[in-house]
Amino acid sequence: MRSRRATLGAFLALAVTFTAAACGDDADDGDTGTDTAAQSDSGNADAAEAIKPFLAAPTDIPVDTPLGKKPESGKTIIVTENPQAVTRKTNDGLDVGAKLLGWTVKREPVGTGPEDPAKAFDAALDQKPDAILVSGNPASTLRSQLDRAKREGVTVLLSDAGDPVGSDGSVHTIGLDDFDQTGLWGKMSADYAMSKDAKHVLVVDLSLYPILHAYSEAAADRVKELGGTSTLIDAQITDLVAGKIPANVVSEIQRNPDIDWVLLALGDMATGLDAALKGAGFADKVSVGGESASTANTAALKSGAEDAWTGFAAEIHGMYRIDALARLFNGEELVTEYNELPTQLLTPDNIGEAPLDDEGYYVGVPDYEKHFSELWKI
């Protein structure tokens, strides 16, 4: 059980470390430029060796400290829900965990405008829940709402934004999906591409979310470290919602015809990309992969249309947040393993055996409900 965690720890030690401030600065730069150094055979060998531990399915869930007692039932939790499909899948895991504990989860939708996360937070506070969960949005963008939550004594759990772990009154930040985790995924993706003789990798960022930017920078930097060329471009959330990312990718390949790999910071960004590449005549020369496979990505791996995605155990991600709330409501210490999600690199070679649910989403460890039921003394 500990062997995979030890491997993850060693791998994380090699990953790039990021800060929220640096992410904000780099997002404005757009293209990172290219590195024309010749790609070395040793770099390919290093990359192939680095990905080996992540080609097999994980066998354990790092959060494994039992609660002192079963938490009280009857709690009402509100989660602000960003528009990406993977966010909804994560919140499905929240629902599973909440039902196990006799809690109710309500979802507060977040729009695509810059003020919408704060508006959704205020709407959640107006409903006077026992707790509010916010993911992906840095605390610095929600100061007014956080101050209000502390005044009103509402428990708030922040995650998935790379903010420092800690507590401030009733506001608690956990390291779930932190820069080390998403930076690791970026390195895994880059290693796979380079192990397949990638020459020029286009990395498509969504820097509105700092954790996705950490993925993008780690991928771009790793490609260059191994002697390849990387170009990083940024997309806007409105591009994602409007389906403009495939056209943006095609335009970039037309400007740089030597691009032979595309890595996307989120699986949902690949919607329509295969058709766009085929329409432009690039489908046979460009490989596609990225972070957090959606059901469309796992299907594309099975058909051979796409090439490598990191498996994001979305429902376990949701269960981690319920676990943190259970410990807070019990007055117990939070654990430190929230930044270690069960993970895997999904490829056409292993997707047939990968742990997927009936919809095609990556599960990670299929019996996760039993695992948490035991931890929570249900």
DSSP letter for each residue of 184-203: HHHHHHHHHHHHTT-SEEEE
pLDDT at 36 over 90: no
Say yes or no: 235 and 368 in one domain: no
Mean pLDDT of 145-160: 97
Mean pLDDT of 259-278: 97
Say yes or no: 224 and 142 in one domain: no
Q: Is residue 24 part of a domain?
A: yes
Say yes or no: 294 and 147 in one domain: no
pLDDT at 39 over 70: no
pLDDT band (50, 70, 90) for residue 16: very low
Q: Is residue 165 part of a domain?
A: yes
The neighbour count for residue 176, using CB atoms within 10 Å, is: 27
Say yes or no: 88 and 169 in one domain: yes
Q: Is residue 68 part of a domain?
A: no
User: What single-letter amino acid sits at 31?
Assistant: D
Say yes or no: 197 and 51 in one domain: yes
pLDDT at 3 over 70: no
Q: Is residue 63 part of a domain?
A: no
Q: Is residue 324 part of a domain?
A: yes
Say yes or no: 14 and 30 in one domain: yes
Q: pLDDT by residue (tens digit) across 49-91?
A: 999 999 999 999 999 999 999 999 999 999 999 888 889 999 9
Q: Is residue 42 part of a domain?
A: yes
- CB-based burial label for 112 (10 Å; 0-12, 13-18, 19+): middle
DSSP letter for each residue of 128-171: --SEEEEESS-GGG-HHHHHHHHHHT-EEEEESS-PPPEEETTE
Distances (CA, A) of 117 to 129, 134, 142, 143, 322: 17, 9, 8, 12, 21
pLDDT band (50, 70, 90) for residue 43: low
Say yes or no: 255 and 121 in one domain: no
Are residues 214 and 185 in contact, defined by beta-carbon separation less than 8 angstroms? no
Mean pLDDT of 27-45: 50
Say yes or no: 189 and 304 in one domain: yes
Say yes or no: 197 and 328 in one domain: no
Q: In 185-285, which ranges are E strands?
A: 200-205, 229-234, 261-264
Q: Is residue 348 part of a domain?
A: no
> How many CA atoms lie less than 13 Å away from 229 in the CB half-sphere?
14
- Which one-letter DSSP state was computed for residue 362? B
pLDDT at 38 over 60: no
Say yes or no: 52 and 190 in one domain: yes
Residue 214: which CATH number? 3.40.50.2300
Mean pLDDT of 303-319: 97
Q: Is residue 70 part of a domain?
A: no
User: What single-letter amino acid sits at 328?
Assistant: L
Mean pLDDT of 365-374: 97
pLDDT at 14 over 50: no
Count structural domains, the chain: 2
Say yes or no: 135 and 15 in one domain: no
Say yes or no: 125 and 138 in one domain: yes
Are residues 299 and 348 in contact, defined by beta-carbon separation less than 8 angstroms? no
Q: Which domain holds residue 220?
A: 2-58+180-312
Q: Give the pLDDT confidence score for residue 347 in this predicted structure.
A: 98
